[in-house]
Structure 1
Amino acid sequence: MSDPHPARMPNKEDKRTFLRKLAEFLHPGPDSTEELIETLAEAEDNNIIGAESRVMLEGVIRMADMTAGDVMVAATRMDLLNIQAPMDELLHTVIHTAHSRFPVYEGERENVIGILLAKDLLKLQRAPEFHIRALLRPVVFVPETKGLNDLLRDFRGNRNHLAIVIDEFGRVAGLITIEDVLEQIVGEIEDEFDIPEDEGDIFALADHTYRVSGDTPIERVNDAFTVTLAGSDPDDEFDTIGGLIAHEMGHVPKRGERYTLCGLDFTVLHTKGGAVRWFKVAPAVDSTH
């Protein structure tokens, strides 16, 4: 027997579509990224989502428009290993920088031939007849324009958590890790080498440099390094070293950037929420500011 109401289902579908359109007309959704972020802020204010969830969701949204070139460590700031270097020199670099992965080059720094995991050096202790070349992992190259969403998917899929970023001419522009990408969502990821903020603000390092919190009062930095830090405009007043350096640089500092002031080199180690969390401070070889 034929269906006495063959058009009922299509009508029902059409009715739902109409209601959906009507709801969207009465309560239009966000038309831009900024409006969407404002909607998230309203959701937090209304206790629909928590503060941490909002920050993470904002990170996901903003990351969609970011590329590897936006968050990479610039080539001039990369810590690389020379495959021809003596083992003592390699170990010193690994211990001093405290990274877990290192690009390895042969000849020129541009010629990156592989990635060395610091833990793999332990294998040389057991079998010193091995050459470091046998320990190298394949190197992954990505263009500066590669989107962070795509890069994160690649990192998760191929289990290579470090990639070399190249520019439009095929030259090494920098490097990026899965941690760099994830930090755009969840903020800075602390590891065993990070120091809790409540344990101090200036730390002496083994190479006679210092690690200084961006929240350190300028007066404390002046006392510690016997300097008188001040901005280029005497009318400007700053409470923290991070605020002063950011003002002098004229933009939000990024990891790896360096600024020289009053005979001190300030290298940005970590940033969080648009502010510098940690500097590496050393006497300037040639003071230019």
Structure 2
Amino acid sequence: MGTPLGDFVRARRDSIQPESLGLPDHGRRRSPGLRRSDLATRAGISVEYLTRIEQGRDRNPSIAVVNALADALSLDPAERNHLRYLAKITGGECSAHVRSAPARRDVRTSVLRTLRLLEPGIAIVTNRVGDILAHTSAFEAVTSGTGLLDTDAPNLTRYVFTDSRARTFFADWDDVADEQALDLWLGPSVENSEWITAELAPMAGADFTRRLNRHVVPQRGALRLNHPSGRELRLVRETLDLSSDAQQLVVFLPADEGTDLAVEQLRRPSRSHLRVIS
């Protein structure tokens, strides 16, 4: 049985073309990407050891080995952080601690006060599984008519993978889907895993499972939205990590004057109010 660490290393190896690293092309292969022997050589480890990591038979590689693999795979900073995180949760000594608590749904009073100060801006509080726990009135205006907030307990991850409207609303749906799948790894409690396995995966289908296990680390550039009103929005995201609560406060800023004007037009009919869902 594989591990998150092994799955990520194997997926990244399969995505690398040898010539991009200055290595010779050995011709047709049964599988794409970099040969296991080439990666092992670049990382300074044996092929047998790399095989054990990829297959999940070695769950506790040293920090030096993890860093060597990051260098050998030419990972960018975000991918390196994800690799180190996966090494942490894969290791037996850390898994019990990391998997001990469910996703928190209540929002601290001080966080709600902070969110209120952000009105009339666009902002939300979410937990690691994508539950939208609180939001400003501007966020409601920007997502009006999309179906995202239609349920009593809106969840961004479930919306992205199970609501057909999401593929129109998010202009770069593939990137957003990869983001949501990757973020689930940041809160791998027992309760979260049960929700993913029992509820989300059956509804979301094979595409969700594939994205979850291939660990693509997106660049998280400007978020492009196609609002049902016909307006096109480009938003820059700034995220404040609320690590003690396993939550995050996300602020969406207009990336250009056209978006700024469009947001103002969408916001105009609604009165400023803060909504707490949890």
Q: Higher helix share goes to which structure?
A: 2
Structure ranking higher in strand proportion: 1
Larger radius of gyration: 1
